[in-house]
Amino acid sequence: MMGYCVYPVKMKPNNMMRKTNYIYLLLMTLALGACAQNNTKEQKHEKDFPMKKTEQEWKAVLTDEQYYILREKGTERAFTGKYWDNHEKGKYYCAACKQELFDSETKFESGSGWPSFYKPVKEQAVVVGKDTSFGMERDEIVCSNCGGHLGHVFPDGPKPTGLRYCMNSAALEFKKENK
């Protein structure tokens, strides 16, 4: 018998096709929605950080370069900061609020000209936000206590994390380990 289709008795061929198309459309919508989700954390605002100071108070305690980097989200030129080539053992702290951020044990030579670490001392020490300046999209790193801009994190670091926390020397203070 030519042209004979086998469908359930109560369902016409057009209804079966219509239901299949609806299911396909629903599945594609769900799949595309899942792909479009953004896993980047929302950038915190100044009022969201525990330490709060006015801009005048920050200017009174920071050098001009520190203020430019930490409060105005500036960047020092590569290979000019005092810690890019530091090989001493110790801890790195936020220059603005003195919160501990990085350990020299996680510092590595990235060749970038900025001090680079593969992880902070604890995950809660820094906050990752979105930076869309200069026509690029990067992950900005700020201090979780005062919100000071420290630098950026990139997915091209060494094991075990595969991350490169590329920091501005002027945003950091180093305290040498006591022997």
Q: Give the tens place of pLDDT for each residue, 66-123.
A: 999 999 999 999 999 999 999 999 999 999 999 999 999 999 999 999 999 999 999 9
94 classed as catalytic: no
Tokens (6 digits) for 25: 């459309």
- Report the distance separating Cα 153 and Cα 162, nearest Å: 10
- Domain 54-176 has what CATH class? mainly beta
Task: Say what the pTM is.
Answer: 0.74
Q: Which of 94, 97, 146, 166 is catalytic?
A: 166
